[in-house]
Amino acid sequence: MKLWGGRFSGQTDEYANKFHSSLSFDKRLYKHDINGSIAHAEMLGRQSIITDADAALIVKGLKEILSDIENGALALDSADEDIHSFVESELTRRIGEAGKRLHTGRSRNDQVALDMRMYVKEEIDEICKLVINLLEALLETAKNHTATIMPGFTHLQKAQAITLSHHLMAYFQMFKRDYERLCDCRKRTDEMPLGSGALASTGYPLDRQFVKEKLGFADITANSLDAVSDRDFCIEFVSCLSLIMMHLSRFCEELVLWSSDAFDFIVISDAYATGSSIMPQKKNPDMAELIRGKTGRIYGSLMGLLTMMKGLPLSYNKDMQEDKEAVFDAVDTAKMSLYVFCGMFSSLQFKTENMRKSALGGYTNATDAADWLVKKGLNFREAHEIAGKLVLYAMEKNLRLEELTPEELKKESGIESDIIDDTFFEALSVEKCVDVRALPGGPSASAMEEAIKNAERFVKNVR
């Protein structure tokens, strides 16, 4: 059923009709559309815009349609152009003339804005749960590895010794920000647009506050033009998902590296890896790689939304129909990626001894050598120069700094006094290098204990 046929004497071109139709994808909004219509019908009855009898009949019919869709008795495939016309035509078919009164005081413009806001709020809540699950998994693993030494990297080169716990808690902070961004996005999404009409509201005495409360919104939209033409909440939502995927992608990149022979830090469970069709020995981190790849897919959805909206005059334009597939695909991709990643991460085996051995190489204690010299009275620039010379000498001898003899250290440092003693070697142990970094945010056991307590409080408060 077309909701707009009176003005037209000719038929819509067959291909134009298919091009125009959105039921194939916006049928996902059936629950939101029906619940929004129920609230609207109840309000129309309360305001005596339609009779109480018609309002009750409409509500009963809508609830039956919702039940039939959910139990499979009613298929969402028809010639109707969108979910709104599908529901209204099915309602009219079932209850007759009263069904035609449902759309009083409403436009598809504010109707679809309502549906999308309800959908986005619901999906934010679902994705927040998945992010919290991941935060809990990170936290549980971090608690077990506060003493697991590993190298930290800059430029993908070994830099300084840290712990696995410290590394994992860096990702905890990323996903914590993601959770907070989603919650913040939800606040701006939580405004009820129904009553805005096509663009200029309506002359009917609608009770927008009643509909707002009935549908669980925090507020009503403040401007009818903005309400029907706004898709900021969709763009912000997909932007939040893009950041989540960026963080997942960075983590997946590290898991791919760590599972390689060059690093050999982890074993990925067989449940989250695949093999090669030609090389029998291969075990490929395909789930991590696929999440990394799907990040670009969500970036594409974000860029599509931004581009769609960038040149639109007020108020509603048909371009905005393109919001749905972008949002729906981003939601599906992000939810699946979070679910798979959380399972993959929770099943990882960490090769802790390999991590420690790796931290011993690469002169990750060179900064500590310079710091030790500073504590002996040298300025840092001079100490940095000396430590660099010691590293160069050790590299030529294929030795670690702590393997140099006191005589070699004195000779190569150019320090003639007896400033270098046994405490120099104590300061260069990887455990000491980690333990000395006890500032808040650092990798020491004491700093990590406090960080984990703070993280546990956060998770407890949001769970």
Omega within 30 of 0 (cis) for the link into 315 = yes
Catalytic residue among 9, 155, 277, 417: 155
Mean pLDDT score, 366-377: 94
pLDDT for 63-107, tens place per residue?
999 999 999 999 998 888 899 999 999 999 999 999 999 999 999
Q: Specify whether the CB–CB gap between 258 and 265 falls below 8 A.
A: yes
Report the alpha-carbon distance of residue 208 to residue 243 in Å, rounded. 35
Predicted local distance difference test score (pLDDT) of residue 410: 86
Mean pLDDT score, 227-250: 98
**Backbone dihedral angles phi then psi of residue 159, each to the nearest 5 degrees:** -120, -65
The structural domains of the chain, ordered by start, are 5-104 (1.10.275.10), 112-146+155-201+228-357 (1.20.200.10), 358-462 (1.10.40.30)
Instruction: Give the residue among 397, 342, 402, 333 at the shortest CA–CA distance from 366.
Output: 402
Q: Are strands 219-220 and 149-154 parallel, antiparallel or unpaired?
A: unpaired
Handedness of CA 131, 221, 4, 73 (dihedral sign): positive
Known catalytic membership, residue 301: no
Q: Specify whether the CB–CB gap between 162 and 443 falls below 8 A.
A: yes
Q: Specify whether the CB–CB gap between 358 and 150 falls below 8 A.
A: yes
pLDDT for 156-168, tens place per residue?
999 999 999 999 9
285-to-138, 184, 269, 349 alpha-carbon distances in Å = 19, 34, 9, 14
Tell me the average pLDDT of the chain: 95
Tokens of 425: 């070697």
Q: What is the dihedral of CA 19, 24, 30, 33, to 10 degrees?
A: -10
Answer yes or no: is pLDDT of 451 > 80.
yes
Catalytic residue among 24, 48, 276, 347: 276
Q: Specify whether the CB–CB gap between 165 and 152 falls below 8 A.
A: no
Maximum Cα–Cα distance across the chain:
103
Task: Please give the share of the chain, as a percent, with pLDDT higher than 90.
Answer: 88
Mean pLDDT score, 20-30: 88
Predicted local distance difference test score (pLDDT) of residue 420: 81
Reported confidence tier of residue 7, pLDDT bands at 50, 70, 90:
low
Predicted local distance difference test score (pLDDT) of residue 16: 64
Give 41-97 as a DSSP string: HHHHHHTTSS-HHHHHHHHHHHHHHHHHHHTTSS-S-SS-SSHHHHHHHHHHHHHGG
Answer yes or no: is pLDDT of 1 > 60.
no
Predicted local distance difference test score (pLDDT) of residue 15: 66
> How many residues belong to the chain?
463
Q: Specify whether the CB–CB gap between 404 and 387 falls below 8 A.
A: no
> How many angstroms from the chain centroid is the CA of residue 54?
44
Segment (H or E) for 349: strand 349-350
Report the alpha-carbon distance of residue 219 to residue 190 in Å, rounded. 7
122-to-127, 181, 217 alpha-carbon distances in Å = 9, 15, 12
Lowest-pLDDT range of 216-225, 267-276, 415-424, 454-463: 415-424
pLDDT for 354-370, tens place per residue?
999 999 999 999 999 99
Q: Which position has the higher pLDDT, 14 or 152?
A: 152
pTM: 0.94
Predicted local distance difference test score (pLDDT) of residue 4: 45
437-to-173, 199, 230, 362, 430 alpha-carbon distances in Å = 19, 60, 49, 19, 11
Give 171-238 as a DSSP string: HHHHHHHHHHHHHHHHHHH-EE-TT-TTTT--SS---HHHHHHHHT-SEE-S-HHHHHH--HHHHHHH
Instruction: Give the residue among 391, 117, 343 at the shortest CA–CA distance from 383.
Output: 391
Give 122-189 as a DSSP string: HHHHHHHHHHHHHHHHHHHHHHTTTT-EEEEEETTEEEEEEEHHHHHHHHHHHHHHHHHHHHHHHHHH
Answer yes or no: is pLDDT of 123 > 90.
yes
Known catalytic membership, residue 20: no
How many Å from the N-terminal Cα to the C-terminal Cα in the chain?
45
